[in-house]
């Protein structure tokens, strides 16, 4: 947190926003120790609309792009086993790059704004989605594939009608982790001027007046929970056979 890079960035990039904030009236200023100020929250709730929509857009675009790329890579590597370890390593290396460093490394190429944000966030989802898709496909019992082949399904039919449906639980498990972590990391894209709920979290005024942080945090957590529930429901709906086991 005390990284000079981060502080500089926050000062430079988020500057406008914080100036605006500190000039407003702060009803709870007398009790600055309060974590949350209802009056201020009621008065200022409108200012979270645009950042929330931005946040959502960035997350959705990143995850969709990440999924398409990672899923494509997994399908490509599925019947080319020798490709699997290098691809896993490559996506793994991307995943280990610190996010702030990743943003600023891309700045000279893609500049400030949403594109850079989406590239970085999408890159972070590759590892988990790729790995889980490969894992899900690998977990399909050999006997099921043997039977499918012996009955006259083509390789393509085996993939789409047998292997992928059976890999859904692992694939969606990967997506859930990817979505939740992307929602969290997307609060950092404020540092490259890409907006989002991070704009309501990072700011000098917030150090003594944390209400905005609490609200933004609540929205981020709510969003993560909601997406997680949606994906979990999707998994249940697409894998009815997994629920009968207990029956």
Partner 1 sequence: MPSGESDAQSQPGASSVRYEETTKQYPGASEPAVDSLTLEVPAGEICVLVGPSGCGKTTAMRMVNRTVEITSGDVLIGERSVRDREPAQLRREIGYVIQQIGLFPHRTITENIGAVPQLLGWDKQRIRERSAELLELIGLDPELGDRYPAQLSGGQQQRVGVARALAADPLVMLMDEPFGAIDPINRERLQNEFLRLQAEIRKTVLFVTHDIDEAIKMGDRIAVMREGGRVEQYATPAELLMAPANEFVEDFVGADRALKRLALMRVGDINLWEAPLAYVGQATAEVRKKLAAPDVEIPYPLLVDSERRPLGWLSERDLGADTVPQRPDSPLGPVLERDDVMRDALADLLQGESQYAPVVDHEGRITGVLSVEIISEFLASPEAKSDEHPAVERPHG
**Which tokens sit at 246?**
């207990």
Is 151 an interacting residue with respect to partner 1 (CB under 8 A)? Answer: yes
Point out which span in 102-110, 123-131, 143-151, 195-203 binds partner 1 (CB under 8 A). Answer: 143-151
Binders of partner 1 among 162-191, rule CB under 8 A? 162, 165-166
| Nearest partner of 114 among 96, 106, 244, judged by Cα | 106
Of 1, 35, 207, 247, which lies in the binding site for partner 1, with binding defined by CB under 8 A?
Answer: 247
Asked if residue 237 binds partner 1 (CB under 8 A), the reply is no
CA gap 76, 130 in Å, rounded = 11
Cβ atoms within 10 Å, residue 104: 15
The one-character DSSP state at 196 is S
Nearest in space to 130 (alpha carbons), one of 86, 73, 63: 73
| C-alpha 107, offset from chain centre | 20
| CB nearer to partner 1: pick between 35 and 244 | 244
Count of residues that interact with partner 1, criterion CB under 8 A = 24
- Residue 27 · residue 39 · CB < 8 Å: yes
Task: Return the number of the residue (166 or 175) whose C-beta is nearest partner 1.
Answer: 166
Q: Does 207 bind partner 1 (CB under 8 A)?
A: no
Pick the binder of partner 1 from 29, 53, 146, 160 (CB under 8 A): 146
* Cα 184 versus chain centre, distance: 7
Distance CA 212, CA 35 (A): 9
* Candidate segments 25-33, 66-74, 119-127, 144-152, binder of partner 1 by CB under 8 A: 144-152
141 binds partner 1 (CB under 8 A): yes
The residue to which tokens 């043997």 are assigned: 146
Looking at 44, 52, 157, 206, which residue binds partner 1 (CB under 8 A)?
Answer: 157
| Binding site residues, partner 1, CB under 8 A | 141-154, 157, 162, 165-166, 239-241, 244-245, 247
């Amino acid at each position: 947190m005390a990284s000079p890079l981060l502080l500089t960035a926050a000062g430079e990039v988020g500057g406008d926003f914080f100036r605006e904030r500190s000039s407003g009236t702060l009803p709870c200023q007398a009790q600055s120790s309060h974590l949350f100020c209802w009056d201020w929250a009621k008065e200022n709730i409108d200012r979270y609309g645009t950042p929330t929509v931005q946040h959502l857009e960035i997350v959705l675009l990143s995850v969709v792009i990440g999924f398409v790329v990672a899923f494509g890579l997994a399908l490509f590597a599925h019947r080319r086993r020798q490709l699997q370890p290098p691809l896993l390593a490559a996506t793994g290396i991307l995943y280990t790059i610190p996010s702030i460093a990743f943003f600023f490394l891309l700045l000279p190429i893609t500049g400030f704004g949403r594109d850079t944000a989406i590239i970085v966030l999408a890159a972070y989802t590759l590892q988990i989605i790729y790995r889980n898709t490969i894992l899900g496909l690998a977990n399909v019992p050999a006997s099921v594939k043997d039977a499918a082949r012996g009955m006259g399904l083509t390789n393509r039919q085996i993939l789409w009608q047998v292997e992928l449906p059976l890999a859904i639980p692992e694939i969606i498990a990967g997506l859930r982790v990817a979505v939740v972590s992307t929602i969290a990391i997307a609060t950092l894209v404020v540092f490259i001027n890409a907006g989002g709920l991070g704009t309501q979290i990072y700011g000098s005024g917030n150090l003594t007046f944390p209400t905005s942080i609490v609200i933004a945090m609540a929205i981020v957590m709510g969003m993560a929970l909601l997406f997680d529930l949606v994906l979990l429901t999707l998994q249940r709906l697409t894998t009815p056979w997994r629920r009968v086991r207990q029956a």
